[in-house]
Structure 1
Amino acid sequence: MRPLAVFRCDASAAIGSGHAVRCLTLAAALEQAGWRSALATPAESLGVVPALGRHPRIDPDASAPADLLVVDHYRLDAAYEGTARAWARRILVLDDLADRTHDCDLLLDQTLGRHAADYRPLVPPGCRVLTGPAFALLRPDFASLRGQALERRRGVLKRVLVAFGGTDPGNATGLALAGIAASGLDLAVDVVLGQAAPHLEAVRASLPANATLHVGTARMAELMLDADLAIGAGGSSAWERCCLGLPALMMVIADNQRAVTAALERAGAALALGDAASLSAAAVADALGHLDAGGLATMAAAGFGICDGMGAGRLARVLAGDGAGVLTVRPAEERDGAILYGWKNEPAALANSLSRTLVPWADHRAWFVASLTGDRRRIFMIERDGAALGAVRFDLGDCRAVVSLVLAPESRGLGLGAEVLRLGVEAFLATHSLPLDARIRIDNAPSLKVFARNGFVPGGDTDGVVTATRLP
């Protein structure tokens, strides 16, 4: 018999639909891998997320034997999970707070900047912790539109998507619409709300002529593709926006969204406006008025490097037993072009690059295709559990090669750089015996240290750039 996954999640006007939606996404990925699924959710949740009704439903208090219990609920912790051990063979927790103990075998937190160490005091010693937007649970339609989104982002601002989750209990939607009106900009607007949103009728009644209201839409990926900017919050839709490189003005509408909002602003993928409860329409209008083509292009590029939309498949493979948390290396493939584009244009990476210039997608795409098909460049991707941690590039000359390293934003500051570089260098030297040169900004102390740990000896600097060399 096919294995059974039981999902414990809720949806309501107060807590929104995000927990239920990401559980449905994982359920679909597991079903593709041969699993069965059932939902342990209250009947009232179906009114908020009707798609829950397409799956078998069991009483949330029942003790139904399961091969896997998935818990996505802020009010449940180790006490509930420990009791569930009697009937669940394995337990997976989906969390993004790191504020309570868990009794689970696997934990996923898709927050940008979250690290496994944040959960070590909160989970059993043998628990495997997966973190970061590489594991964000997005429906497949987002990843399928990624190529079109890369071609579309041009730094223009003509269409805005206003979406604050399925319920938007504080009516941040109304605030965003008032801000757009106050800006005086000639914009087309798409507004998304769920059918259980408490302010739905108020929004509908005051909808301006330039806006279209979409209720309970299944076309969110297409709406994000068509938009040039989103005004939204820090829930699961933040990773959907990143996947499609959609720049965003973000408002905090719940305390648990503060970390995501701050992390995305630091990464350059969004601008944080603050708490919706304390914002004015004038503040929203001012933010809109200060956007320019360069800022929009920078946010789009940074977003592409944060999330590729393949997280559900990665998690399904981990649950199937693929990978063991070890670092692996492989040659770059066509699918890596978008993630590398984002990494290269992320603000911190740009600050440490030799050119410090934003690279347009068309230029990067041409360069990347030539890199894969030509014989003068080698690029290796280093991964863990299918999630890319960094890339090592080698530009071949007649008798030497120049090596460069780029890390995913969430991989920085964890001491991974030296190991990522080591694996890339080993893969290259397996087929080439050439001296290696690295050109590093003299003020980039972390990178100088990483290369030194891999046997690169720094020489003099020219115009603030140090050349470090390693002999074969």
Structure 2
Amino acid sequence: MDKIHCGGRVVIRPSKRCAIFRFDAGPEIGGGHALRCLALAETLMRSGWMCRYAIGPGSINAVQQLMPYEKYCFQLSGKPESEINEIEGYLKGRKCDLFVVDHYGRDIHFERLCRTFAKYIMVIDDMVNRSHDADYLLNQNLGSLASSYKTLVPGTCRFFIGPQYALLRPEFYLNRLKSLARRQHERAVQRILVSFGLSETCRFTERVVKALANTSYSGYIDVVGSGEEFRKSAVFSESKKTRPRIRILRDVDDIAVLMRDADLAIGAAGSMSWERCTLGLPSLVTAIADNQRTIAHALFKAGAADVFDFDMANEDDGLAKSLAKILIDRKRVKQMSTIAADICDGLGCERVTEALGL
């Protein structure tokens, strides 16, 4: 309950439902945890919820989409043993209706202690490697199974499993129809989007740009990244001199539009996979983190993407050959688009919000 002052009187009114999200972001772990939490939070807020963000050091500076919500964030020490007291101190004796944990470094021991202030706990996971004290568990990855968590969560836990529950911002769904319309027929690849996400340190992006230079491709290339290293890359500077149709874009806020207008994407098999699928964007993906290997394999098995393993290529000509092959295979590109669009429609946040029923 909230106390408000009205004409000198104190009036008690029912407070909004409150959700607190625990996640981190940074160059090492990327921004996927933050972005999917923000996507769900925005949907909850449209349903009347109040959302707050308990984040580790450096998270706000790492993800520009967090900037508008800075006043709703409170920074934690990053030490699991201290965070419970820190969150309780922020709440000042109040409880939150929903506590959402999206963090590889937190497990059942942390979550049990959160019961002192959380009515319900939701865990967002894609590792399936530790136990949780959760009322709800979401794993948005293709091929994930609720049965994999049988011994890891309470028997009463409710599951949201698969890309139909992928937590994406509304701009992906809003651009879906236009994106799919332009992919109805086989067409030549005329614009390529290269983006490996926040955790990439330029080495993968630079190799792709070099490899594209060793193909006959003469169309447009949009290279998206962030950070100082990306800005200072000599490879990108040289590429702009020799390829007038290449654009080097930093910290973009219209990635959905860039995906919509691209004919092929080259990137990591992380949470951006579901953004590309929503827009039916054919992709050549690689795993730049261990947890992305199962996603890459599942996308390839489904026929929604081709996979390239950087670790298996000692020379960049291997990547150039893979790119050259896919660039001329219009039938394969069209097939990937159709399959990808069937995997995810971008309405996961709405499904989760409705299913929570809180």
Q: Same fold (TM over 0.5)?
A: yes
Amino acid at match of 1:147: L
The answer to whether structure 1 residue 122 and structure 2 residue 152 are counterparts is yes
Alignment counterpart, residue 167 of structure 1, candidates 189, 199, 204: 199
For 1:93 and 1:280, locate their aligned partners in 2 and report how far apart those are by CA, in whole Å.
41
Asked if 1:317 corresponds to 2:354, the answer is: yes
User: Which residue of 34, 37, 57 maps to 1:23?
Assistant: 37
What is the CA–CA distance in structure 2 between the aligned matches of 1:147 and 1:214, rounded to whole Å? Answer: 25
Structure 1 residues 329-383: Cα deviation after superposition (integer angstroms, max 9, x where no partner): xxxxxxxxxxxxxxxxxxxxxxxxxxxxxxxxxxxxxxxxxxxxxxxxxxxxxxx
Q: What is the CA–CA distance in structure 2 between the aligned matches of 1:249 and 1:137, rounded to whole Å?
A: 22
| 2:103 is the alignment partner of 1:103 | no
* Runs of 5+ unmatched residues, structure 1: 322-472
Cα deviation for residue 231 of structure 1 reads 0.4
For residue 121 of structure 2, what is the aligned residue in structure 1?
Answer: 91
User: What residue number does 1:296 align with?
Assistant: 333
Give the AA of the match of 1:149.
S
Which 4+ runs in 1 deviate beyond 6 A?
A: none
- Computed over aligned residues only, the root mean square deviation of the Cα atoms, in angstroms, reads 1.5
Instruction: Check whether the contact 1:243–1:308 (CA below 8 A) recurs between aligned residues.
Output: yes
1:220 and 2:255 matched: yes
Counterpart residue number, 1:140: 170
Give 1 or 2 for the bigger CA radius of gyration: 1
Query: Could you tell me how far apart the structure 2 residues matched to 1:259 and 1:141 are?
Result: 26
Aligned to 2:246: 211
User: Relative to 1, partners in 2 of residues 1:48 and 1:90: Cα closer, same or farther, differing over 3 Å?
Assistant: same
TM score, norm. by length of structure 1:
0.66
Whole-angstrom distance in 1 between the partners of 2:265 and 2:113: 42
Residue 42 of structure 1, CA deviation? 2.4
Counterpart of 1:424?
none
Matched, 1:308 2:345: yes
Shift of residue 252, structure 1, vs aligned partner: 1.3
Q: Specify the alignment match of 2:264 in structure 1.
A: 229
The 5 Å alignment of 1:43-442 reads: 43-55=57-69, 56-60=72-76, 61=83, 62=86, 63=88, 64=91, 65-153=95-183, 154-155=185-186, 156-169=188-201, 171-194=203-226, 196=227, 198-202=229-233, 204-208=236-240, 209=243, 210-275=245-310, 278=313, 280-291=315-326, 292-321=329-358
Other structure's SS at 2:143 match: coil
Counterpart amino acid of 1:161?
L
Contact 1:25/1:312 (CA < 8 Å) preserved in 2?
Answer: yes
Measure, in 2, the Cα distance between the counterparts of 1:244 and 1:133. 13
Question: Residue type of the partner of 2:211?
Answer: G
In the TM superposition, what is the alpha-carbon distance from 1:282 to its structure 2 partner? 1.3
CA distance in 1, matches of 2:268, 2:309: 10
Are the structure 2 counterparts of residues 250 and 264 from structure 1 closer, same or farther at C-alpha, using a change threshold of 3 Å?
same
Residue pair 1:72, 1:93 contacting (<8 A) in 2 also: yes
Q: Secondary structure at the match of 2:273?
A: helix
Counterpart Cα distance in 2 of 1:250 and 1:239: 12
Structure 2: gaps spanning 5 or more residues: 1-14, 77-82
Contact 1:138 1:310 in 2 (8 A): yes
Contact 2:142-2:163 at 8 Å conserved across structures: yes
**Counterpart amino acid of residue 313 in structure 1:** E
Deviation at 1:290, TM superposition (A): 1.4
Determine if contact 1:167/1:197 at 8 Å carries over to the other structure.
no
**Distance change (3 Å), C-alpha of 1:13 and 1:277:** farther
- Distance change in 2, residues 1:52/1:217 (3 Å): same
Aligned mates of 2:57, 2:148 — CA distance in 1: 34
CA contact (8 A) 2:26 2:198 kept: no
Task: Check the 8 A contact 1:13/1:198 in 2, yes or no.
Answer: no
Q: Which residue of 2 aligns with 1:407?
A: none
User: Whole-Å Cα distance in 1 between the matches of residues 314 and 349 of structure 2?
Assistant: 35
In 1: Cα distance, 2:221 partner to 2:266 partner: 10
SS of aligned partner of 1:316? helix
Query: 1:7 maps to which residue?
Result: 21
Structure 2 residue aligned with 1:35, among 22, 40, 49?
Answer: 49
CA contact (8 A) 2:223 2:246 kept: yes
Alpha-carbon deviation of 1:251? 1.2
Compute the TM-score of the two structures, normalised by the length of structure 2.
0.86
Deviation string for 1:250-301 (max 9, x for gaps)?
1111110000000000110100111457464212211122121100010000
How many residues align structurally?
Answer: 320
Give SS of 1:290's match: helix
- One-letter amino acid of the structure 2 residue matched with residue 135 of structure 1: Y
Looking at structure 2, the residues matched to 178 and 79 of structure 1 have their Cα atoms a distance apart, in angstroms, of 47
For residues 228 and 261 of structure 2, the distance between their equivalents in structure 1, rounded to whole angstroms, comes to 24
8 Å CA contact 2:206, 2:236 repeated in 1: no
Give the SS at the match of 1:313. helix
- Greater relative contact order structure (CA < 8 Å, 6+ sep): 2
Name the CA distance, whole Å, in 1 between partners of 2:201 and 2:134: 32
In structure 2, how many angstroms separate the alpha carbons of the residues matched to 1:315 and 1:189? 36
